[in-house]
Amino acid sequence: MPLDPLPELMVEPIVRAALLEDLGRAGDITTDAVVPPGHESRLVLAARQQGVVAGLDCARLAFRLLDGAVRFTPRVTDGTAVEPGTVLAEVEGSSRALLTGERTGLNLACRLSGIATATAGLVEAIAGHKAQIVCTRKTTPGLRSLEKYAVRAGGGSNHRFGLDDAVLIKDNHVAIAGSVREAVSRVRARAGHMVKVEVEVDTLAQLEELLTIGADAVLLDNMTPQTLAEAVRMVGGRMLTEASGRVNLQTAPAIAAAGVDLISVGWLTHSAPILDIGLDWVG
């Protein structure tokens, strides 16, 4: 499925805020002193590691917000797997704009490409199973829309974008309500008919209680593959099954083999290493 880019209206405020953070109170005092006005350069963004690209629009905006005449020519699209040395984009125009926007553009492109690369690795690890890799709300404050986009670029899917788009009853909700049944009952009395309801369970006993009430999905937290397989059998297709906890490249295949529909992974957006991308002067 083709990857739909984020609307520029959503991306620009994030890039603009990052540039303002870097420019501070006096702008780029180094570049303004060294580079004369009117000087132009040509540079290339190039991958220095194998991985999957995401965030090229962030890099483009980092330059063009500083100078609208900068020419940014992508050579690959987000979601593309690349090898070390692959040219991702060519950038031409004001040397001042290119050098001043370099770090902001690279910070975002490296971060998002790292998330896409990590996601693609997990997607490949569970190939052949029906499970989908999904992200969580464990995102960098202010960057959620970009980081969730990067997950999609890597072949994954998105979980909730915020607290208001679905109900997810977690263990602390259950503890305060007193039981799974009571927590679900309170939600049913308040949530609208369009709101999906998912419930986290830690044990098969909690799952058995949930099955007497019903929900749209169940989050099976920190269960072994054997317990997950039994949980999937108990559910019998009556709701979506999501596994979470201890997911990495080594454990993901066994978790997927248990038959769950979704595998949620928090570290994709809170701890994935960056993909090293450089901006190299070529003339």
> With contact defined as beta carbons under 8 Å apart, do 109 and 20 qualify?
no
Catalytic residue among 103, 160, 188, 196: 103
148 is catalytic: no
110: nearest Cα among 281, 282, 280, 272: 272
Phi-psi category of residue 162: left, alpha or beta, with phi > 0 → left and psi -120 to 50 → alpha = beta
Q: Which residues pair with 80 in a beta bridge?
A: none
Catalytic annotation, pick one of 16, 138, 181, 186: 138
Active site annotation includes 200:
yes
Is 103 one of the catalytic residues?
Answer: yes
Which of 28, 200, 242, 261 is an active site residue?
Answer: 200
Tell me the two tokens of residue 247. Answer: 């997911």
Q: What is the CA radius of gyration of the chain?
A: 23
Could you give phi then psi for residue 44, rounded to 5 degrees? Answer: -125, 140
171-183 b/e (C-beta count within 10 Å ≥ 16 → b): eebbeebeebeeb
Of 57, 102, 198, 221, catalytic = 221
Among the options 71, 130, 170, 238, which is catalytic?
170
Annotated active-site residue 111? The verdict is no
Q: Is 130 a catalytic residue?
A: no
DSSP 236: T
DSSP 33-101: HHSPTT-EEEEEEEESSSEE---HHHHHHHHHTT-TT-EEEESS-TT-EE-TT-EEEEEEEEHHHHHHH
Catalytic residues: 103, 138, 170, 200, 221
